[in-house]
A and B are shown apart, each in its own frame.
Chain A
């Protein structure tokens, strides 16, 4: 089988690190606006007819968008099984809450309009609001915990030991990440509404987008401040073989202040290169992510207002990419550092699936991802155009 594979283990691992990032960013861009729109539903629309306009902007597409998340989790399971196992079992209660919120979404959309009773609809509307805010918040907090380090280690038979409860997930920094996550999805959702609606709803959406974008950039900057002075980062100090077996107990890791800046400042670059020998990333050009992320996020609502949305969506998407990309790059090659036993940390070099699995999954992704992009754009093309009050009135139907 090795003869068939034309990519070495190291390359495959870096590719799968990138693919996981792309899937997460894909989820943020595609499903992020669904979450954001649901979160601000009562703010932009009061009457039932208005709410139906707002919901109908996302109803035909949210289901497909959600698969970015499902696939993200699936890709973690397939390509980074240790990451999947530690994250899902470690964040048990938080994951359950996110899951409950995610379950509310399909049933909320499926059931809300089926009965024309104000109390019924109001109840589902609030369920949808919760389904928008909770997952966004939980994922933000989870990401914050990745940056902070997670209290787990492996015993000698590689069984996970996790020492920490639900409330340990929350610190000033992780809550900040949670709010940042909510605010960037709200921005994205509001910008989407600028594109898909008109009149009063659009006007309110523009205002919300403007506020959310400022909040997002401020929180992003505050997060950077934490990374500088508040929380420690992690550095691999030895024992890593980028082509070696996926056993996270073979390397050594140190916890250091400001270590997360290593990949950006270039100052730690030489030290890093020596230590890990396989670190192909880590350079100043990566400043592109935080800089463009912030600029685009600031620009998004204004573009949305002046150019009828489409450019706003692009800017907002770049903003999300910049913010998530910054966090992901800062941690490279770490996937999940361990605060309990830094040597147990999961990195790109020692937490992946086998070379064969990574290779086969890469082939499958290369075949299906372009197809997915083609038919997703097709669906968006068919559903293009604004959803108006008149439109919803005209299509009064339970079908």
Chain B
């Protein structure tokens, strides 16, 4: 593989890995703030225990989120240096503002969240928790504004003196319609992830009849919060932004495997096997009108198909060649007025000419065949997009159904339905799958561009060797796999331990610090079968006879 493919693989792996932790941080941070708010309002200890226990799991996840996030910020520079210098003027400033406004807030107060319980008033600590949640969400906002600019690069212009894109309107960049759709959609998806996490773990306790008071309350909070979020994630789906630009149109057409433009409103293909060679979708099952209505929010706007979009791309490549030619002339002679006029007229298509660089170094001498090839390159991976989108959307509807049911049972205070609890427990991996699929749709669907219509991916890489990227890629895979094992192990351990188990740990005096280690924490302190009856976690410390003899040696 060459530098481009290796760098893409590394970026895809590290970004998808990073996004295993981000949605849970987004969702849990808000859930923690809600739980602690209830604690401060009612003064009931159990809500404090809930905040602390879910906070413990949040902390394990948060560490991974931060750690893997640093990689993302470094990676633009290390692997995508040309991208960084070409659009740093816009993209870099959004990342910097994210740091200034959001990440600083979140990272500064996370320490107080864990270490400030005994140092602050109740309301003071609650404010800290809300600030952490606010910081996480602001962070998502700026990152998604930056990402949306890659999908729909408005408010910027190519500068012929510096040979890069430069900001023309910060307002346009911030209020990018794609950014708004993305923000709502992605943050809601994070809330769904947090809610399913709490719902699944609570169901686990309820199934084992442990920590019942704790689990019932957590279940109820998760069901209500999750229902609202799941509705928002589907209804305010990302698709509304897809009509905003040419590339987004192509993405939409690819998602729907819609080769030809249909008369409005277009059909929605529920099932099919897209074939890139013949440009047909086999075995298609179609639902009349649905796509046109979803995509354009109207009955009479046609949705362009892939073939039409390729023809448009061809035209833009030819126009881009004029711009490219004019740019070369302008750089040789700044006073060439004809060239300046030609450039101004065709500047919007300059990026399309760059697609030709894959086939010819000179660009302006491209043959018809090369132009056709380059135009064809603008079609993303239809099969992957088609199916990734359908699975993601399917999960979305499943989450709504799950939360509706959970909410119904929770509001009737019926927490014994083993069937529902099992469904909730086994649903644990689904929000992650849905989120990863969503990013595959969004970013794989953006190909062949890093910046839609402006900069092709294959030009964006650093001038580094494949060996260097191979080195870091292998390093990442090994390092990240180890961390994943440790992370899952720790989460599993503390989930199994539960708030009851953790409460018992706290009674234990600091023992083994001096001499040789004692038995350490007994992982299996809570017996698999569970106690005979639910015990509230805030129970005063006292010896518990029915438990197996797993007390640490130092206990008095």
Judged by a CB distance under 8 angstroms, whether B114 is at the interface is yes
Contact A160–B462 (Cβ < 8 Å): yes
Contact A162–B520 (Cβ < 8 Å): no
Contact B111–A383 (Cβ < 8 Å): yes
Contact B159–A245 (Cβ < 8 Å): yes
Contact A103–B111 (Cβ < 8 Å): no
Interface residues on B, range: 35 or more
Q: Which residue of A lies closest to B62 (CB)?
A: A110
Q: Report how many residues on chain A are interfacial, defined by Cβ distance under 8 Å.
A: 81
In the complex the two chains form, what is the Cα distance from A376 to B104 in whole Å?
9
Contact B163–A71 (Cβ < 8 Å): no
Contact A354–B108 (Cβ < 8 Å): no
Contact B70–A48 (Cβ < 8 Å): no
Q: Which residue of B lies closest to A87 (CB)?
A: B77
Judged by a CB distance under 8 angstroms, whether B78 is at the interface is yes
In the complex the two chains form, what is the Cα distance from A176 to B167 in whole Å?
41
**B84 CB contacts on chain A under 8 angstroms:** 77, 81, 84-85, 88
Contact B510–A379 (Cβ < 8 Å): no
Contact A369–B505 (Cβ < 8 Å): no
Q: What string of 1s and 0s marks CB contacts (under 8 Å) between B47-87 and chain A?
A: 00000110110011011101110110110111101101100
Contact A70–B103 (Cβ < 8 Å): yes
Task: Quote the shortest CB–CB distance from A73 to chain B (angstroms).
Answer: 6
Judged by a CB distance under 8 angstroms, whether A43 is at the interface is no
**B283 CB contacts on chain A under 8 angstroms:** none
Judged by a CB distance under 8 angstroms, whether A41 is at the interface is no
Task: Quote the shortest CB–CB distance from B206 to chain A (angstroms).
Answer: 23
In the complex the two chains form, what is the Cα distance from A246 to B53 in whole Å?
52
Q: Which residue of A lies closest to B76 (CB)?
A: A77
In the complex the two chains form, what is the Cα distance from A393 to B71 in whole Å?
36
**B285 CB contacts on chain A under 8 angstroms:** none
**B506 CB contacts on chain A under 8 angstroms:** 396-399
**B81 CB contacts on chain A under 8 angstroms:** 85-86, 88-89, 160
In the complex the two chains form, what is the Cα distance from A398 to B520 in whole Å?
13
In the complex the two chains form, what is the Cα distance from A354 to B170 in whole Å?
12
Q: What string of 1s and 0s marks CB contacts (under 8 Å) between A273-301 and chain B?
A: 00000000000000000000000000000
Q: Which residue of B lies closest to A361 (CB)?
A: B93
Contact B78–A96 (Cβ < 8 Å): yes
**A161 CB contacts on chain B under 8 angstroms:** 463
Q: Which of A67, A89, A353 contacts B77 (CB 8 A)?
A: A89
Judged by a CB distance under 8 angstroms, whether B477 is at the interface is no
Query: Which residues 497-538 of B have a CB within 8 angstroms of A?
Result: 502, 505-506, 508-510, 512-514, 517, 520-521
Q: Which of B56, B164, B487, B514 contacts A399 (CB 8 A)?
A: B56
Judged by a CB distance under 8 angstroms, whether A239 is at the interface is no
Question: How many A-B pairs fall under 8 Å by CB?
Answer: 280
Judged by a CB distance under 8 angstroms, whether B433 is at the interface is no
Contact A67–B104 (Cβ < 8 Å): yes
Judged by a CB distance under 8 angstroms, whether A267 is at the interface is no
Judged by a CB distance under 8 angstroms, whether A172 is at the interface is no
Q: Which of A63, A71, A99, A364 contacts B66 (CB 8 A)?
A: A63
In the complex the two chains form, what is the Cα distance from A383 to B113 in whole Å?
12
**B162 CB contacts on chain A under 8 angstroms:** 158, 245-247, 354
Contact A84–B88 (Cβ < 8 Å): yes
Judged by a CB distance under 8 angstroms, whether B96 is at the interface is yes
Judged by a CB distance under 8 angstroms, whether A78 is at the interface is yes
**A62 CB contacts on chain B under 8 angstroms:** 111
Contact A47–B513 (Cβ < 8 Å): yes
Contact B109–A393 (Cβ < 8 Å): no
**A105 CB contacts on chain B under 8 angstroms:** 67
Stretch of B233-241, B377-385, B434-442, B467-475 that contacts chain A = B467-475
Judged by a CB distance under 8 angstroms, whether B116 is at the interface is yes
Q: Which residue of B lies closest to A64 (CB)?
A: B108
28 contacts between A and B (CB under 8 A): A74-B92, A78-B89, A78-B95, A79-B92, A81-B88, A84-B76, A84-B88, A88-B74, A89-B462, A92-B464, A92-B472, A96-B475, A100-B475, A103-B479, A110-B62, A111-B486, A158-B163, A160-B81, A245-B159, A353-B89, A354-B166, A356-B166, A368-B101, A368-B104, A383-B115, A383-B116, A399-B52, A399-B502
**Residues of A with Cβ closer than 8 Å to B?**
1, 47-49, 56, 59-64, 66-67, 70-71, 73-75, 77-79, 81-82, 84-89, 92-93, 95-96, 99-100, 102-107, 109-111, 114-118, 157-162, 245-247, 353-354, 356-357, 360-361, 364-365, 368-369, 372, 375-376, 379, 382-383, 392-393, 395-399
Q: Enumerate the 8 nearest inter-chain pairs by beta-carbon distance, A residue then B residue, closest first.
A: A88-B77, A81-B88, A110-B63, A64-B108, A77-B92, A245-B161, A60-B111, A89-B462
